[in-house]
Amino acid sequence: MSDNFFDPTEIDVEIDMANGETGELLPPRHTPESAWAPDTNGDPVGSERRATQDDIILPDYFYKKYMLDNQGKPTFNPSRIFGIMKIFNEKINTEQTFNKDDNVLAEKERAYFDAQVESIVLGQKPLLEVDPQTTGINFLQLATRTWAEFVSIVYEYKESMAEQDPTKEIPEWLIEREDKMLQLGRKARLLKNALAAIDSDFGLKNVSIDEFRVKTQVELRLQRLAEWNYNNVVDTSIKSAMTMTKQANEAMDLSDVA
């Protein structure tokens, strides 16, 4: 076979369409830029709708507790942080309360509370012998998170109680919230008293349940809740939209059959 051969497709043949010449219609060698651009001429309204993300309608309760930042992302409401920290300042120096109607029972409750504090202290001492600094930091973090959750629950409980109809019974979920609030208050004070008993053994400059530390934990907690509630609303909105679309399509199919 001769080496002198050619590929007919390599020859550009000019066809004079104006004078009646015709030729074979072949696809172009290169994809034109127009092929990659979206075609909005056929369905301009539909194209605009598809290019725009559906707005998410958030319920009123979301804006009552949380907000959206400048980028439209969920975050905590600063006014709630202020209210929660006000409760912290009111509670941090209070002591655990005991039975007010029975002095004998109150003394038993107090003795049991003090024994629990001592048990917590005894549980920390073996760890202090190994790594006092890390033990102190971890223990302080536990106490700080507990106080942050406690005062947050107190704020939410008071808020919910203010919204209740005084002529009706308190709902079960709010009674459970009250019980959790009381238990968290007990835990917070147990940790505070235990921390005060061994704070000098940690080898740290400052081992105290400070306001700024609690505020940071409160903000983190509300940030997580804001994101969870927002995502839950978005998921529900998407599912509702999909259900409505499915129902509409089924209705159209039935109308065609009828």
Query: What is the average per-residue pLDDT within 11-40?
Result: 53
- Looking at residue 27, its pLDDT comes to 55
> Is a pLDDT exceeding 50 seen at residue 246?
no
Q: Which of 44-53, 142-151, 152-161, 195-204 has the lowest mean pLDDT?
A: 44-53
CA distance readout (Å), 59 to 125, 219, 235: 50, 22, 13
Q: Which residues contact 106 (CB under 8 A, 6 or more apart)?
A: 98, 99, 100
> Is a pLDDT exceeding 50 seen at residue 96?
yes
Tell me the CB-side half-sphere exposure of residue 158, using CA atoms within 13 A.
10
Q: What is the DSSP letter of 36?
A: T
Return phi, psi of residue 41, to 5°.
-75, -35
Amino acid code (one letter) for 172? E
Report the 10 Å Cβ neighbour count for 133: 11
For the chain, the average pLDDT equals 79
- Tokens read off for 114: 């003090």
> Is a pLDDT exceeding 50 seen at residue 122?
yes
- Looking at residue 52, its pLDDT comes to 43
> Is a pLDDT exceeding 80 seen at residue 23?
no
Residue 123 or 241, more confident: 123
Report the 10 Å Cβ neighbour count for 136: 22
The rounded distance, in Å, linking the Cα atoms of 121 and 99 is 25
Q: What is the DSSP letter of 229?
A: H
- Looking at residue 20, its pLDDT comes to 53
Q: Where do runs of H (alpha helix) occur along the chain?
A: 44-51, 60-65, 78-91, 103-130, 132-162, 172-198, 211-257
Q: What is the DSSP letter of 95?
A: P
Condensed to tens digits (0 to 9), the pLDDT of residues 8-18 reads: 455 455 555 45
The rounded distance, in Å, linking the Cα atoms of 141 and 220 is 13
Query: What is the average per-residue pLDDT within 203-230?
Result: 90
> Is a pLDDT exceeding 80 seen at residue 56?
no
